[in-house]
Amino acid sequence: TTPDPRALRDLAVRVATEAGGLAAEGQAGVTVLDTKSSPTDVVTKMDRATEELIRSRLLAVRPDDAILGEEGGEAGGDGGSGVRWVVDPIDGTVNYLYGQPDWGVAIAAEVDGVVVAAAVNVPRRGELYEAVLGEGSRCNGEPLQAPPAVPLEQALVATGFGYFPERRVQQARVLVEVVPHIRDIRRGGSAAVDLTGLAAGRANAFYERGLNPWDWAAPGLIASEAGIRVGGLHGGPPANDLVIAARPELYDALDALLAPLGA
């Protein structure tokens, strides 16, 4: 039987709510446990504990599902159900480490490779986002509609930086070319908060190179169900190469600016 996206959404919301509570309780006094891809790429014990909670809650209800998580990689069930969960237990780990509020728990459900349901919990903002493919997105139960596009020169654009020094050099070069053409730039520290923020009208556009699926799967569906186009270069699918998100007219303008820069 085909999994019901609304049931997957309800499960994602329930688990993201519990996981966000656990992470919020553990934020004060948290320290670095380990580094991953580079010395700036940190992990705390709460990243791991939160992901473990999410995995165990999802598998308790749906033991045959596969799970891709930021900390634990690909594991869980054998995927025989056709459902794969894409999970970032704490997106915005550096904000989390410094006691800042902009971090979130992101849980997406893919069916046959398509994200059909999502929840993003940003506990310190008191915001719980949810979406079902084709049915719109909500924040705390209220339907979301992203504000209309603005011209590029009036756009507040969010972006982020990866953890590899070489990548940051490239990202800084691109930034130099982007900043003169826009209203201003924001580096909020969490792609999940940035992308859901587009749905909520806190910025007009987002781009980042080097993101992983767990950074964009859940918040990307929430943004796109609120009228934001979420894709990659030249309007392709979002990819590690580049994720761009904005209302379609602004997306095209940003795409045209970024494409020649090898962003």
Chain residues that interact with ligand IPD, rule: CB under 6 A = 70, 88, 91-93, 160-162, 189-191, 208, 211, 215
CB-CB contact of 106 with 88 (8 Å): yes
Least separation in angstroms between residue 126's CB and ligand IPD is 20
The DSSP bridge partners found for residue 88 are 106
For ligand IPD, give the closer residue by CB, 160 or 231: 160
CB-CB contact of 204 with 159 (8 Å): no
Dihedral sign, Cα of residue 118, residue 184, residue 125, residue 250: negative
For ligand IPD, give the closer residue by CB, 42 or 149: 42
Calpha distance 84→99 (Å, rounded): 31
Which residue number is nearest to ligand IPD in terms of Cβ? 160
Least separation in angstroms between residue 235's CB and ligand IPD is 22
Calpha distance 111→107 (Å, rounded): 13
Calpha distance 198→77 (Å, rounded): 33
For ligand IPD, give the closer residue by CB, 132 or 221: 221
Least separation in angstroms between residue 56's CB and ligand IPD is 20
For ligand IPD, give the closer residue by CB, 86 or 211: 211
For ligand IPD, give the closer residue by CB, 130 or 208: 208
CB-CB contact of 83 with 58 (8 Å): no
**Nearest to residue 185, comparing CAs of 167, 203, 212, 169?**
203
Least separation in angstroms between residue 62's CB and ligand IPD is 24
Least separation in angstroms between residue 97's CB and ligand IPD is 9
Least separation in angstroms between residue 92's CB and ligand IPD is 5
- Token pair listed for 235: 């309007």
For ligand IPD, give the closer residue by CB, 88 or 110: 88
